[in-house]
Structure 1
Amino acid sequence: MTNEHEEYSVGQLAALAGVSVRTLHHYDAIGLLTPAHVARNGYRTYGHAEALRLQEILFYRDVGMALGEIKSFLEGSSNAIVRLTDHRDRLHREAHQTAQMIDTLNATIAHLKGDRDMTLDELYKPFSAEQQAAHEAWLIKTYGAAMADQIATSKRIIEELPHGIEGAMEELQAIERNLVATYESGTETSSDTLHALLERHRDFVSKMWGRPCSAEGFAGLADMYLSHPDFVARFEKLSPRFSAWLPVAMKAHAKRLDPEN
């Protein structure tokens, strides 16, 4: 953060903030950001308070707020901490929703390619009804009418689960807790205990797909876990380096199920 007693010319502040001098002149003209001092020769000087205000203006501008809206918003509240905290929390919520959308799109795209089986809801939390409707509309528009059948199949599978998607996620979490415990205990990938856990995992995948998960399909799922940054990040949250260990264990299990492949 800037020194509270440091002052900046219009050119210096523009360079620091990544905006043009013309932009700062315009902000001054509309009363959005006025300099701390203006000399008789028109030389503008900005201080710490103005630098903070410019940062806040840019935060709101970057999310699409019009300059007039930003001005009214800043004038409507004198507490910058409250404003910025609310803005941060809103961005956190939007980032979470975006991450969910990206995860589901990645799963769907992999499923549509045909080389990796996935369902729309596998491994992810459900969307709100509004979000889900928008997502489904986008999928159908992008991939055509056949995507509507895929969505219907996925919904049918979820609806037929005894406790819905929440129950399925609880089952998955229990499986993953056991796998993490096995990993952290240093169990070899050839262990019968581990293979029993992985078989439970494969049974869960079969249930979510609505058809048997073959050894080849399970190995393909392991490849996705290992290669996709979203899955790597997800598994690293469970335990450090678990993201590398799990695909190896899954492939060893697939090889045990089908030694010919």
Structure 2
Amino acid sequence: MEYSVSQVAAMSGLSARTLRHYDDIGLLTPARIAANGYRWYGRPELVRLQRILLLRRLRMPLPAISATLADEARTAAELRAHRDRVAADRAELDEILGVIDRTVTRLSADELDQSDEFLADLAQGRHRLQEDLRGRYGREVDAHFETAAAVTAEWTKDDHDQAAAEHTDLLRRMAALMHDEVAPDTDRALDLADEHYRAIRAFWPADATAYRELGRLIEENADQRAMVAAVDPDLPRWLRAAVESYVTRRLQGIPGSSPPAAP
């Protein structure tokens, strides 16, 4: 028995666009493509899709899923390596959860003002990001953090809250596009990426190369990914792709290779 794209999408919970993307990257090839261009899937393809969904549930990136399914002997090794990455992320996320829990407690007690603890939590998050970037790019990132710190030196908690609210609103609008199956390389997506880029520039004069690297951090740095994933778990990957497309289509050719600082 064969199943159409729409039938497989309904059974799996994936969109037809996602299934076509899996075909494009060679992750899940249909059993056949009819003369009219329709894709048809058989039982072997559904079994493979089931394994893909399992590995996705384990938060394994698509390239790693492809490599795992291509070589059965590597499955255990790939899963062990992925487990180590997840464990490292969990340690960072546990620390972030601690900050959130303390904030909720202070909010409930109506104690969240210009407290030393609030500022300490903010500084701690910046320090984690700075350490990550220093490991990636060297100590030249310190100058970029100094620039960002100078911009916000006189900010009150209300200023921080307003900036956070504006950032969250932008992420929600991006998530809405994503759920409407708007590709991250379309003009509507790039217009929102332009808003994101301009917001970054308000803190730090990122050039094309630096902004591209910042897009990577949205998916690879635990703190940055958690902030975006709090709006939608699938948004970090979509936003990174939007940043890549924005740099290619609207910023390409701007010179410079500065490393990214805090968004």
Bin for the TM-score computed over the shorter chain = 0.3 to 0.5
Larger radius of gyration: 1
Give TM-score scaled by structure 2 length.
0.44
Give TM-score scaled by structure 1 length.
0.44
